[in-house]
């Protein structure tokens, strides 16, 4: 056996094996790097989508906070006006009928403002909240209608003022408490 030939064969084989190994390693490294880049790109897209979704939810929550705050203010004004209108004892001064008309008009205006604001923003509330608000709308409307019926139509209302006042002071606060609780849970407070 000729050692020179043997060593040259081993050298060529070794160089060839080293070259093939290097090519395989280079190709695999390149594929792995491309795969890693693709994964990083997908991760960035996912992060962007996640941030966008989070931003949208945050904006929606801020909008709901503002709507609930404004709606609650309108409910408080309506409640105050309704209680003032249906109070059994009133201090009207010289022109009681004129004062009474002002109270009815104020309540009607507060009711309409509440109703319009709610209808414009109803989409922001869940079904249970809408049911509570619709119940509130109905009860305030009934109180306003029953109280102003005789004045508006000149016909004696079968419901007396004490019944109406009792409804306003006893039934409405129950619905308002449920609504306040619902608003608080929506606001996470």
Output the pLDDT for position 92.
Answer: 63
- Share above pLDDT 90 across residues of the chain, in percent, rounded to a whole number: 31
Question: What would the pLDDT profile of 71-94 be if each residue is shown by its tens digit?
Answer: 999 999 999 999 999 888 777 667
When comparing pLDDT for 96 and 67, which is higher? 67
Q: Long-range CB contacts (< 8 A, 24+ apart) of 88-97?
A: 88/161, 88/162, 88/165
When comparing pLDDT for 9 and 113, which is higher? 113
DSSP per-residue codes, 107-165:
HHHHHHHHHHHHHHHGGGS-HHHHHHHHHHHHHHHHHHHHHHHHHHHSS--SS-HHHHH
Output the pLDDT for position 156.
Answer: 65
Lowest mean pLDDT among 9-23, 51-65, 96-110, 114-128: 9-23
Tokens of 117: 């604001």
- Rounded CA-CA distance 55/177 in Å is 32
When comparing pLDDT for 28 and 189, which is higher? 28
Of the candidates 147, 118, 121, the residue with the CA atom closest to the CA atom of residue 134: 118
Tokens of 27: 């190709």
Give the largest CA-CA distance in the chain.
137
Tokens of 66: 């503002």
**Mean pLDDT to the nearest integer, 95-112:** 90
Q: Does the pLDDT at position 27 exceed 60?
A: yes
Q: Does the pLDDT at position 13 exceed 70?
A: no
Question: What would the pLDDT profile of 128-165 be if each residue is shown by its tens digit?
Answer: 999 999 999 999 999 998 888 777 666 666 567 778 88
């Amino acid at each position: 056996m000729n050692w020179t030939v043997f060593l040259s064969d081993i050298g060529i084989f070794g160089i060839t094996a080293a070259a093939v190994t290097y090519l395989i390693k280079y190709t695999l490294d390149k594929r792995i790097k491309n795969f890693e880049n693709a994964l990083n790109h997908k991760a960035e897209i996912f992060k962007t989508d996640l941030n966008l979704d989070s931003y949208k939810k945050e904006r929606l929550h801020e909008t709901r906070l503002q709507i609930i705050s404004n709606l609650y203010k309108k409910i408080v004004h309506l409640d105050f006006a309704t209680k003032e209108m249906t109070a059994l004892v009133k201090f009207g001064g010289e022109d009681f009928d004129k004062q009474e008309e002002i109270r009815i008009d104020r309540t009607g205006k507060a009711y309409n403002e509440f109703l319009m604001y709610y209808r414009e923003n109803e989409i922001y509330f869940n079904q249970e909240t809408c049911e509570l608000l619709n119940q509130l709308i109905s009860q305030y409307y009934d109180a306003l209608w029953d109280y102003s019926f005789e004045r508006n139509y000149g016909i004696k209302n079968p419901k007396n003022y004490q019944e109406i006042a009792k409804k306003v002071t006893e039934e409405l606060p129950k619905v308002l408490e449920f609504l306040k609780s619902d608003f608080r849970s929506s606001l996470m407070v």
